[in-house]
Amino acid sequence: MDVEVRHNPSFAVARVGLAPGEAVRAESGAMMAMSADVTIEAKTGGGLLKGLKRSVLGGASLFVTRFTAGGSGGWVDLAACLPGDVTTIDVDGAVNLTRGGWLSSSDGVEIDTKWGGFKNLIGSEGGFLIRAEGTGQVLASCYGALDRVMLGPGERIVVDSGHVVAFGDSISYTTRTVTRGLVQTLKSGEGFVFEFTGPGPVWIQSRNPTEFVAWLTNELPFSED
């Protein structure tokens, strides 16, 4: 598939160009527009149990939409629900995405849910990651703009848990409070952070969806009805 991203970084739309008979899988509801000769099929993606696991534990939709181009090829425009950027990640092995990061992937990439360990649960990412495994391309979406940081062997970076979008499978990581001691952490206004160690890439979003939801909840009028 051939991907062209436009309107980024604030309101990105990814146009996925497909060769005749080529297919792409996307998050349910991500389609904005498509050429007339593209057919759509919605499936749970690996069966009902796998779809439920991906939906409940990984934060993705229960159903995955498969778009297949007709005899003359075609295209599909995909967009995420939150305003922000979209990036193409080349996968040759595996890449890990946090909740809500997966938008689409080519047919050679399988999407599953991976237990990230209690360290990931503490990091407020729900304990589970979306694991994209195989050979092909993944479209990852984010809230806000996107940074890609390439870490060298042994190089480390600290990222707030709510700003992590994805990281390569060669990356190792731990989770900790941003400061030493709970009191200092609360005073700082920060929560838990990921400490990544290279080699490999880390994708970071400039806005935190969890903080945005908390702000909206605080600003919206309360109703007892």
Report whether pLDDT(197) > 70: yes
Of the two residues 178 and 143, the one the predictor is more confident about is 143
Give per-residue pLDDT as tens, 145-177: 999 999 999 999 999 988 999 999 999 998 877
Q: Indicate the pTM of the whole model.
A: 0.80
Q: How confident is the model at residue 2 (pLDDT cuts 50, 70, 90)?
A: very high
pLDDT of residue 212: 83
CA distance 17 to 77: 9
CATH no. of 2-219: 3.60.160.10
* Domain range summary for the chain, segments of one domain joined by +: 2-219
Of the two residues 125 and 85, the one the predictor is more confident about is 85
Average confidence (pLDDT) over 76-81: 96
Which residues are paired to 164 by β-bridges?
Answer: 204
Residue 189 Cα distances to 178, 192, 217, angstroms = 10, 10, 18
CB 194 within 8 A of CB 161: yes
pLDDT of residue 108: 92
CA distance 172 to 197: 5
The percentage of residues in the chain with a pLDDT greater than 90, rounded to a whole number, is 59
Give per-residue pLDDT as tens, 101-141: 999 999 999 988 876 554 444 444 445 688 999 999 999 99
Report whether pLDDT(99) > 50: yes
First vs last Cα of the chain: how many Å apart? Answer: 49
The percentage of residues in the chain with a pLDDT greater than 70, rounded to a whole number, is 77
Q: Can you read off the two tokens belonging to residue 181?
A: 């001691």
